[in-house]
Amino acid sequence: MRGSRWPKGYGITVESERTSRNVAQSLLSEVKVKCDLLPFTVRLHDGASSVEAIPCASIPLDAAVLDHLTRSANRQKLTWHDGAIPADEVWIKVAGDHGGDLFKIGAQVLNKASPNSSGNTMIVCCFAAKDSRVNLVTGTAHINADIKSITERKWKSPDGRECSLRFFGASDYALLCQWFGNSGPCGTHPCLWCEVTRTSMAKPQAEREVEAPARSLQSLARDYREFIEHGRGQLSKAKNYRNVIAPAMFDIAIDQVCPPALHICLGIYQKIFKMIEADLHDLDVILASHLVKDILPDEDVDEAEVLHHHLLHGLSPYVLAVDEARQLLRDAEELWGEIDEMENELKWVILRAEGDSEDNFTQMVEAIASLQDKRKNMESKADTIIKKAKVTTTDGPLASRLEEALQKHHVRRQAYHSQSFVGNHVKIMLQKESIADLTSVASEAARDIVSKSNFPQTIITRTQAIEQRYKKLLSEFSECHKRFTHGSRMDTEQIDLLDESIRTFCASFREMFPTATFPIKMHILEQHVVPWVRRKTLPLVRCGCKYARYCSEACQEHDQERHRMECDVTNAASGLASNLKMAVAILCKMHHLPVERGQLSSIKNLMSREYLIMPMTVHTFHTTVTV
By residue range, what is the domain housing residue 187?
A: 58-261
State the helix-helix crossing angle for 357-388 and 316-352, rounded to 10 degrees: 170
pLDDT of res. 608: 31
Domain final residue pick, 492, 511, 532: 532
Asked if residue 39 belongs to a domain, the reply is: no
Are 255 and 272 within one domain? no
Asked if residue 380 belongs to a domain, the reply is: yes
pLDDT of res. 581: 30
State the DSSP H helix or E strand holding residue 64, giving kind and residue range, or none if neither: helix 61-74
Asked if residue 322 belongs to a domain, the reply is: yes
Are 151 and 239 within one domain? yes
pLDDT of res. 147: 92
Are 113 and 239 within one domain? yes
C-alpha to C-alpha distances, 379 to 313, 339, 342, 524, 559, nearest whole angstrom: 28, 15, 20, 52, 83
| First-to-final CA distance of the chain | 67
Domain final residue pick, 486, 501, 532: 532
Radius of gyration of the chain (CA): 35
pLDDT digits 0-9 by tens, 212-227: 999 999 999 999 999 9
The pTM of the whole model exceeds 0.75 = no
pLDDT of res. 303: 60
Are 442 and 572 within one domain? no
- What whole-number distance in Å separates Cα of residue 179 and Cα of residue 457? 54
Are 374 and 479 within one domain? no
Are 99 and 236 within one domain? yes
Q: How many domains does the chain have?
A: 5
Residue 316 neighbours by CB under 8 Å, 6+ apart: 307
The stretches in the chain having pLDDT less than 70 are 1-5, 26-30, 294-316, 318-323, 325, 348-349, 351-358, 386-389, 415-418, 487-489, 535-627
Are 372 and 466 within one domain? no
pLDDT of res. 238: 92
- What whole-number distance in Å separates Cα of residue 241 and Cα of residue 181? 12
pLDDT digits 0-9 by tens, 86-137: 888 999 999 998 887 889 999 999 898 888 787 888 889 999 999 999 999 9
Asked if residue 302 belongs to a domain, the reply is: no
The alpha carbon dihedral of 243, 246, 247, 248 has a sign of negative
Are 545 and 410 within one domain? no
- What whole-number distance in Å separates Cα of residue 169 and Cα of residue 176? 8
Asked if residue 360 belongs to a domain, the reply is: yes
Alpha-carbon dihedral angle through residues 421, 427, 432, 435, given to the nearest 10 degrees: 10
Asked if residue 32 belongs to a domain, the reply is: no
- What whole-number distance in Å separates Cα of residue 416 and Cα of residue 144? 33
Q: Burial, 326: exposed, middle or buried (Cβ in 10 Å; 0-12, 13-18, 19+)?
A: middle
Are 221 and 291 within one domain? no
Asked if residue 304 belongs to a domain, the reply is: no
pLDDT of res. 261: 87
What count of other Cβ atoms lies within 10 Å of the Cβ of residue 99?
14
Are 171 and 286 within one domain? no
Asked if residue 372 belongs to a domain, the reply is: yes
Are 204 and 246 within one domain? yes
Are 127 and 251 within one domain? yes
Q: Evaluate whether 295 touches 457 at the Cβ level (below 8 Å).
A: no
- What whole-number distance in Å separates Cα of residue 477 and Cα of residue 480? 5
